[in-house]
Amino acid sequence: MSVREELAGLPLPQRIQALLEKSGLTQKELAARVGVDRPRVNAWANGRATTRKHAGRLAEVASEAFGEKLPADLFSSDRQRPGEAEAVLAATLQRLTVGLEDLTGLLAEQRQLVAQMSRLVAALEHREAATRADPEQG
């Protein structure tokens, strides 16, 4: 299967991600090569913006990275297929779910630390009260 065929089977955001990975470019570097700012590339990679005006330059950069002449329409958001938006939403939902699970774990750890600190404070208060009651024990 050719690179063109492989990329054509991916939603546009995943094609942008594949380009970043294959080229070794950061979003900022790709933005400079295409003539846009980094937030624009990030929006492309997350399916929040169209690439219409920049598809030709994206195809040039991709052709260099993949070593194969790739057409501009491969990087045009006009090419969106049925189900592509749903795929992007599903991928975004998956990332959010993982992030939420991470936050839930951190919250549980934080609660454990607060409980430990509460026990330490209570022990210190008990010790201080005992010391006040019998200064010779302290």
- pLDDT attached to residue 85: 65
DSSP codes joined into one string, 72-137? GGGG-GGGPPTTHHHHHHHHHHHHHHHHHHHHHHHHHHHHHHHHHHHHHHHHHHHHHHHHHH-TTT
- pLDDT attached to residue 135: 72
Q: CB count, 10 Å around CB of 27?
A: 18
- pLDDT attached to residue 138: 55
Indicate yes or no: pTM above 0.75: no
- pLDDT attached to residue 93: 86
pLDDT digit string (tens) for the chain, length 138 residues: 788 888 888 888 999 999 999 999 999 999 999 999 999 999 999 888 888 899 999 999 999 999 999 999 888 875 555 566 677 778 788 888 988 999 999 999 999 999 999 999 999 999 999 888 877 765
- pLDDT attached to residue 67: 93
